[in-house]
Amino acid sequence: MIARRIWHWVLAVLIAGWLPVLLITWWWNASATSDNPFFPPLEQIWEQFKLNWVFLNVPIHLVPSLENLFTGFAIGVVAGIGLGALVGASATAARYVEPVVDFFRAIPPVALVPIFILLLGLDSGMRIASIAFATTFPILIATIEGVRNTNVVLLDTASVFRLTPAQLLWRVRLPNAMPVVFGGLQVGFQIAFIVTIASEYLGSGFGLGAFTLIAADSFMILDAWTGVLLLGILGYALSLVFDLVERVSLGWYYGQKKLA
Amino acid sequence: MPAVLRRIPAGVISTVAALIVWQIIGSVGPLAGDSFATATEAVSALWTLLGESTFWLAFWETIQMAAIGFAISIVIAIPLGILIGLSRFSYRSSKFAFDFMKVIPPIVIIPIAILVIGPTLAMGIALVVFANVFSVAIQTAYGVRDADPVLLETMRSYRMGLLQQIRYARLPSAAVQIGIAMRLAIAASLVVAIVAGLVGGAGGLGSFLALTQSSGNADDTYAVILFMGAIGVALSRLLVRGQRRVIFWSGR
């Protein structure tokens, strides 16, 4: 039984893995003798990657990026869920607020960065503010949606038990909205990542995005490649972590769905 | 609430309220000053911009990048997705690789794109393609795999060929997925085209915005962003309506 499960797992990894391995091997070999300045041999990129990111530049460029990302995202989460819960609890309020929120949601998040540069300059405060502001709207929309569409039976039950409005919001509406809210959190986190990079491209100086763009502008091709690779790996790794958090914290919901 | 007010749509009332709040914040509130535009300043700046040919030229460049990039990604991604989706092995082999590429935002590769292609419209188009091609392909493949097995068995027993299978079973089942993927891709194309201009200097509205900001013209900056928001809202309304009409048999 266990042997069979391990076999299935190995097979799945093999099936998912052969194509990426093949592509990377191809890149490695095809670029080995490359004299095109923009596509240096992958081996050189890898050596430079180890030099840059294990762990020389990590505290200078990676740590500030991640700090801004998580601070901004956290502010956006608190603002989005807090406001969304208040607005979503009243159908009338939701009807009035939604068009305005939709408008902000429709602005490309990166386009908001110039506004914050004008207001706050180029430092960390500007970056965090841009990230937080852009993150708020998808979370806000999802929370309004989730809180408003609470199951009618649950609401009736709550009113039979004479729950106060605060109890109703905290114990019934919000937990029920969580699966929808998580959809908003996921979109919000992707936006936070993008705005983090954009705010570093546009604001000068430190951060992984700034490092990469400055390297590219000054024709330090290897450094630029290592930055792009690290950003790509980071983007994927963060989305994996996010999926994991969702699965753990929404375990009760998926359990319920399986039973139903 | 008086009856007259109640007949006005909620969106109009809240928009007017938001504009008034904006005006107050910018003129007497905490953000009064040169680096913040009030509602009236932004709207009048937008009104002036709408009369300028450079603004419309920038808008046209953005539309070009988005449209050409979108068209290229569809032409590549849908046949590719169908091919991948036809066999279980190829679907499971490519799922991981495509999912990996899908979550990498195109903004990540802008530095390399600037080096290789240069800050041009072509770079914007390339970024739009990168943004869409993986997600549309894997979504198409998923839809193709999702075809009704009974229908496929039936067709096989009637000895209908692969092309007929694709035409009558695989594509109709994938149409809903393709429709959703295309809707997301159109919205993403516009955003990526703007970002390519703003961050990568590819031209269009994005570069226009970067210029207004770097010259410290707050009124124009807010005006351009207002315009982008309006375009975004209009586009998403249009897309939802269009999708409902084209894929009328799906409730979504």
pLDDT digits (tens, 9 = 90+) for B19-51: 888 888 878 776 777 778 888 888 899 999 999
Mean pLDDT of B167-187: 87
Q: Which amino acid is at B23?
A: Q
Question: In the block, which residue shows the tokens 């969304």?
Answer: A84
Instruction: Please name the member of B92, B109, B198 whose beta carbon is closest to the beta carbon of A228.
Output: B109
C-alpha distance from residue A176 to each of A139, A142, A145, B139 (Å)? 15, 12, 11, 29
User: Are B141 and B242 members of one domain?
Assistant: yes
* Backbone dihedral angles phi then psi of residue A90, each to the nearest 5 degrees: -120, 125
pLDDT tens for A69-105 read 999 999 999 999 999 998 988 888 888 888 888 889 8
**Chain B interface includes A206 (CB < 8 A):** no
From CA B221, how far away is CA B210, in angstroms rounded?
A: 8
User: Are B22 and B73 members of one domain?
Assistant: no
User: Are B229 and B140 members of one domain?
Assistant: yes
Q: Which two tokens stand for residue B145?
A: 């795999």
From CA B181, how far away is CA B169, in angstroms rounded?
A: 19
Instruction: Give the gap in angstroms from C-alpha A199 to the nearest C-alpha of chain B.
Output: 9
pLDDT at B110 over 50: yes
How many Å from the N-terminal Cα to the C-terminal Cα in chain A? 28
DSSP A42-111: HHHHHHHHHHHHTTTTIIIIIHHHHHHHHHHHHHHHHHHHHHHHHHHT-HHHHHHHHHHHHHHHHS-GGG
pLDDT at B251 over 60: no
Mean pLDDT of B206-212: 93
DSSP A150-214: --HHHHHHHHHTT--HHHIIIIIIHHHHHHHHHHHHHHHHHHHHHHHHHHHHHS-SSSHHHHHHH
User: Are B159 and B220 members of one domain?
Assistant: yes
Q: Which two tokens stand for residue A30?
A: 């095809």
Torsion angle of alpha carbons A20, A65, B116, A239, nearest 10°? 30
Interface pTM (ipTM) of the complex?
0.86
User: Are B180 and B59 members of one domain?
Assistant: yes
Question: Does B37 fall in a domain?
Answer: no
Question: Does B251 fall in a domain?
Answer: no
From CA A203, how far away is CA A208, in angstroms rounded?
A: 12
Would you say A134 and A109 are in contact if contact means Cβ atoms under 8 Å apart? yes
For residue B135, name the pLDDT band (cuts at 50, 70, 90). Answer: very high
User: Are B59 and B8 members of one domain?
Assistant: no
User: Are B162 and B199 members of one domain?
Assistant: yes
Would you say A231 and A212 are in contact if contact means Cβ atoms under 8 Å apart? yes
Of A219-223, B174-178, B244-248, least confident by mean pLDDT is: B244-248
Contacts of B69 (CB under 8 A, 6+ apart): B124, B125, B126, B127, B128, B129, B131, B132, B189, B192, B193
Q: What is the pLDDT of residue B249?
A: 60
Question: Does B39 fall in a domain?
Answer: no
User: Are B24 and B93 members of one domain?
Assistant: no
Q: What angle do CA A153, A154, A156 make, to 5 degrees?
A: 65
Question: Does B96 fall in a domain?
Answer: yes
User: Are B82 and B109 members of one domain?
Assistant: yes
Mean pLDDT of B222-233: 93
Question: Does B252 fall in a domain?
Answer: no
pLDDT at B106 over 80: yes
User: Are B86 and B209 members of one domain?
Assistant: yes
SS3 of residue B249 by DSSP: coil
pLDDT at B241 over 50: yes
Domain, as residue range, for B28: 3-32
**Chain A interface includes B1 (CB < 8 A):** no
For residue B252, name the pLDDT band (cuts at 50, 70, 90). Answer: very low
For residue B146, name the pLDDT band (cuts at 50, 70, 90). Answer: confident
Instruction: Please name the member of B93, B94, B228 whose beta carbon is closest to the beta carbon of A111.
Output: B228
User: Are B14 and B60 members of one domain?
Assistant: no
Q: What is the pLDDT of residue B168?
A: 85
Query: Chain A window 176-205: which residues touch B at a Cβ cutoff of 8 Å?
Result: 190, 193-194, 197-198, 201-202
Question: In the block, which residue shows the tokens 């002036």?
Answer: B48
Yes or no, beta carbons of A111 and B199 under 8 Å apart? no
Yes or no, beta carbons of B100 and A97 under 8 Å apart? no
Q: Please name which of B110, B136, B129 lies closest in space to residue B206, comparing C-alpha atoms.
A: B110
Mean pLDDT value across chain B: 87
Q: What is the pLDDT of residue B5?
A: 65
Question: Does B210 fall in a domain?
Answer: yes
Q: What is the pLDDT of residue B196?
A: 94
Question: Does B136 fall in a domain?
Answer: yes
Q: What is the pLDDT of residue A12?
A: 86
For residue B69, name the pLDDT band (cuts at 50, 70, 90). Answer: very high
Residues of chain A with Cβ-Cβ distance to B135 below 8 Å are none
CATH of the domain at B94: 1.10.3720.10
Yes or no, beta carbons of A236 and B206 under 8 Å apart? no
How many Å from the N-terminal Cα to the C-terminal Cα in chain B? 35
With a cut of 50, list the residues of chain A below it in pLDDT: none
What pTM was computed for the model? 0.88
Helix B204-214 × helix B218-246 angle, to 10°? 160
pLDDT tens for B189-208 read 999 999 999 998 888 999 99
**Chain B interface includes A96 (CB < 8 A):** yes
Q: Please name which of A187, A153, A154, A193 lies closest in space to residue A171, comparing C-alpha atoms.
A: A154
Yes or no, beta carbons of B35 and A119 under 8 Å apart? yes
Q: Which amino acid is at B34?
A: D
From CA A62, how far away is CA A44, in angstroms rounded?
A: 21
Residues of chain B with Cβ-Cβ distance to A39 below 8 Å are 116
* Alpha helix positions (H), chain B: 3-7, 10-27, 39-49, 53-86, 88-103, 110-116, 121-145, 149-157, 162-165, 171-200, 204-214, 218-246
Burial letters A157-174, b for 16+ CB under 10 A, else e: ebeeeebeeeebbeebbb
Question: Does B40 fall in a domain?
Answer: no
**Chain B interface includes A26 (CB < 8 A):** no
Yes or no, beta carbons of A236 and B229 under 8 Å apart? no
Number of domains in chain B: 2
From CA B134, how far away is CA B141, in angstroms rounded?
A: 11
User: Are B224 and B103 members of one domain?
Assistant: yes
Yes or no, beta carbons of A106 and B94 under 8 Å apart? no
Yes or no, beta carbons of B221 and A104 under 8 Å apart? no
DSSP B67-135: HHHHHHHHHHHHHHHHHHHHSHHHHHHHHHHHHHHHHS-GGGGHHHHHHHT-SSHHHHHHHHHHHHHHH
